Structure 1
Amino acid sequence: MKRRNSLSLSSSSSSSVWGKLQWNGKKFVYLLLLLFCFTTFLLLQSPYNRLETSQSSPSFSSSSSSSPSVHHNSKIAFMFIARNRLPLDLVWDAFLKGDEEGKFSIYVHSRPGFVLNEATTMSPFFYGRQINQSIQVDWGGSSMIEAERILLKSALNDPFNKRFVFVSDSCIPLYNFSYTYDYIMSSPNSFVDSFSDAKDSRYNPKMHPAVPAQNWRKGSQWVVLIRKHAEVMVNDDTVFPVFQRHCKRKSLLEFWRDHPFNSTCIELKNQVRLKKKKIDIKNEESGGCISKNVDDLVGGDGVTKVS
């Protein structure tokens, strides 16, 4: 009987010792895991802190001065071309609420005399943002270009506007504000939809030599311009007058359908060199859409182009 008791005592004591060892082992593993997590956190924070330090500290090396930089007060000018009201103003309201540092400006060109206020828009961001020098725009006419130049001229008055985005009253943002801002500002290039079409018959030979046939381009009017190219369009006194003289009346709506002014003007002023990429044009003759597969086409003098 005593032997059984001694055996039970020894087994219970050994099990308790083994339990303590297991518990101590678990605590040791937990401590190792905590140490590992803390070390990993420090390692992850280290490059982030170095990045913040390098961004906040001024550098006067030649390499840093030559690379493109954006001031923290730099803004994107959103330039809306509308008939009257902005039917999607609430979508833009939600988008613009993502900006907490005043990194955007708004300019709206609508019919003369139209005022954006509480009665005409549901977004306070658009109150009073109409252009007072607006003109009557004939959709499909050269007055559309004049409206764009008026918008650009107004936006260029603000020295903090560094990027200029043309937006229609039916456009909506696909990403949030911070992503859009960082994406546009991180590139030193303009984004211009520009391509030549050998089958295009709208070029008027009388435009030569101001607008040579080899510089004739098609493209969308919804572009993103750096300040340099915005100034090119506003100060242009060659391309636009030629367009007005020789590109009217004869199939006017068809002529302006692909809005050749932006791409042709920048093409002529900057002699852009393109890297050819894949593009598919579908059903253009039958009035279908133009679909593109683009891999960031960067040309000379800071123009990102679709071609």
Structure 2
Amino acid sequence: MKRRSSIKLFSVLLLAFCFGSLVFMHANHFESSAVDLSFESEVLPFESAVLPFESPPSNARSKIAFLFIARNRIPLEVVWDKFFRGEKEHRFSIYVHSRPGFLLNRATTRSPLFYGRQVNDSVQVDWGESSMIQAEQILLRNALADPNNERFLFLSDSCIPLYNFSYIYDYIMSTSTSFVDSFADTKEGRYNPKMSHVVPVYNWRKGSQWVVLIRKHAEVMLNDDVVFPVFQQYCRRKSLPEFWRDHPLPAEGWKEHNCIPDEHYVQTLLAQWGLEDEITRRTLTHTSWDLSASKDRERRGWHPVTYKLSEATPKLIKSIKGIDNINYETEYRKEWCSKGDEPAPCFLFARKFTRAAAIHLLNKVIQRCSKYFQSFNLSKLTTSYELLPSHVSDLLDHVSDLKYSIASFFFICFDSLYWDDQWKISRGNPKMFRCVSSCRIKGA
């Protein structure tokens, strides 16, 4: 009898264990697929956020120094606050160069992440002057004081990120090179022969000032006391005469030695020191140039396009993120963008966007994500979800008080959901399930 009782007890316990296991597995499955996804798409909306990148090979505490060059405030602070918030600060640092005496505090920025991030030894910066290079060197001096800063990324105050922080961090940190747009400049009028005693013409380069430098190259730029003095003396923007807007400039006179220092300095410096083998020769910041011909533009020179509210559309962002090669006409070469052996998007950032355009984009993201999550069981995001307004400025009034931060969740949506013109909800898509699970965990 005792033996039969023992067998019965063991059987009951075994059945209870199996039943409990099934319930547990079912609950976990329900938790991971609480979002009822049912749509199919030839291009998965989350594929752009899961491109294959290896983990950074360097120190786990390695940081990217984000170096902002601003006139005063950070007009797109709304975007950058969402970009950084929720990330661990041992992976990034922020430095801002504004006009002398300007302070970033509660009165001048709505993002606590920018409080006190201004450098205190700033200079007045004028477009097309060597003061721009001085500002960059000041930012580097401050950033190099932190030994954990391993990459030094220059950004304008009109830049927006195209991907979330983790993707950009992995992209930049997984290579040992600097990203410097650099090519031979064959146009007449930029190079001044008076520079030849220090900078020979065969080392003369041109490119975008929005570079990402490894620490070695940042130290070379900061400690340069040879090339920069020559640029200060001989690389100058040609002065415009009084009432220049009303009278066309003589074509030949305008071309003569019209040198814009920030478009040549870093590129020429690295060529001068024989370091071009240590750079990836492209910028990570997209800029669109208005190449339309007009008499007025001939007088003013070329300037990048500024995207206003009506021009900031999903189609624009998608087109920029879809660029996978760059054509260098002066060198007759095409640069296919890659990270290691894997194809990769060329650009991680874009400019120039007005504040209204940036808020318009974020507002669209919130509306899109709000619609996307309406049919989901958001048990962990209920508080955040109920406070999602139709306008981003309202969100800013609430976000600091939310029990569950939506910051990381927000930029996952920014990075993937919104920019897919054909997005639908898809049932049984494991990549979608994984991202939604990530949204819920990070947002909780």
1:176 deviates by 0.2
User: Per-residue displacement from partner, 1:98-153 (whole Å, max 9, x unpaired)?
Assistant: 41353100000000110000110111110000000001111221100000000001
Question: 2:146 and 2:280 mapped to 1: Cα distance?
Answer: 35
Is 2:93 aligned against 1:105?
yes
Q: What is the DSSP-based 3-state SS (H/G/I as helix, E as strand, rest coil) of the residue aligned with 1:108?
A: strand
Aligned equivalent of 1:292, options 317, 326, 334 = 326
Please name the residue that 1:165 is paired with. Answer: 153
Aligned equivalent of 1:120, options 108, 122, 125 = 108
Aligned equivalent of 1:227, options 201, 215, 218 = 215
Alignment of 1:22-61 (within 5 A): none
Aligned equivalent of 2:236, options 248, 266, 269 = 248
Question: 1:277 and 1:227 mapped to 2: Cα distance?
Answer: 17
Please name the residue that 1:90 is paired with. Answer: 78
1:250 deviates by 3.2
Question: 2:95 and 2:289 mapped to 1: Cα distance?
Answer: 34
Aligned equivalent of 2:271, options 267, 270, 283 = 267
Q: TM-score w.r.t. structure 2 length?
A: 0.48
Please name the residue that 1:77 is paired with. Answer: 65
Counterpart residue type for residue 295 of structure 1? W
Question: 1:297 and 1:211 mapped to 2: Cα distance?
Answer: 32
Counterpart residue type for residue 207 of structure 1? M
Q: What is the DSSP-based 3-state SS (H/G/I as helix, E as strand, rest coil) of the residue aligned with 1:102?
A: helix
1:274 deviates by 9.5
The question of whether the paired residues in 1 share the 8 Å contact of 2:105 and 2:114 is answered with yes
Q: TM-score w.r.t. structure 1 length?
A: 0.68
User: Per-residue displacement from partner, 1:46-81 (whole Å, max 9, x unpaired)?
Assistant: xxxxxxxxx9xxxxxxxxxxxx83111000000000
Please name the residue that 2:199 is paired with. Answer: 211
Higher relative contact order (CA 8 A, sep 6+): 2
Question: 2:153 and 2:188 mapped to 1: Cα distance?
Answer: 27
Aligned equivalent of 2:133, options 137, 145, 166 = 145
1:258 deviates by 6.2
Question: 1:276 and 1:161 mapped to 2: Cα distance?
Answer: 19
Q: What is the DSSP-based 3-state SS (H/G/I as helix, E as strand, rest coil) of the residue aligned with 2:160?
A: coil
User: Per-residue displacement from partner, 1:196-234 (whole Å, max 9, x unpaired)?
Assistant: 132242100010121110111111110000000000100
- 1:69–1:144 distance in 2 versus 1, CA, 3 Å: same
- 1:297–1:213 distance in 2 versus 1, CA, 3 Å: farther
Percent same amino acid at aligned positions? Answer: 59
The question of whether the paired residues in 2 share the 8 Å contact of 1:276 and 1:297 is answered with no
Question: 1:244 and 1:185 mapped to 2: Cα distance?
Answer: 33
1:248 deviates by 2.6
Question: 2:145 and 2:280 mapped to 1: Cα distance?
Answer: 36
Question: 1:296 and 1:95 mapped to 2: Cα distance?
Answer: 24
The question of whether the paired residues in 1 share the 8 Å contact of 2:69 and 2:156 is answered with yes
Counterpart residue type for residue 85 of structure 2? K
1:84 deviates by 0.3
1:295 deviates by 1.8
Question: 1:157 and 1:284 mapped to 2: Cα distance?
Answer: 41
Counterpart residue type for residue 270 of structure 2? I
1:297 deviates by 8.5
The question of whether the paired residues in 2 share the 8 Å contact of 1:137 and 1:143 is answered with yes
Q: What is the DSSP-based 3-state SS (H/G/I as helix, E as strand, rest coil) of the residue aligned with 1:178?
A: helix
Question: 2:116 and 2:215 mapped to 1: Cα distance?
Answer: 24
The question of whether the paired residues in 2 share the 8 Å contact of 1:274 and 1:297 is answered with no
Question: 2:215 and 2:279 mapped to 1: Cα distance?
Answer: 23
Q: Of the two, which has the highest radius of gyration?
A: 1
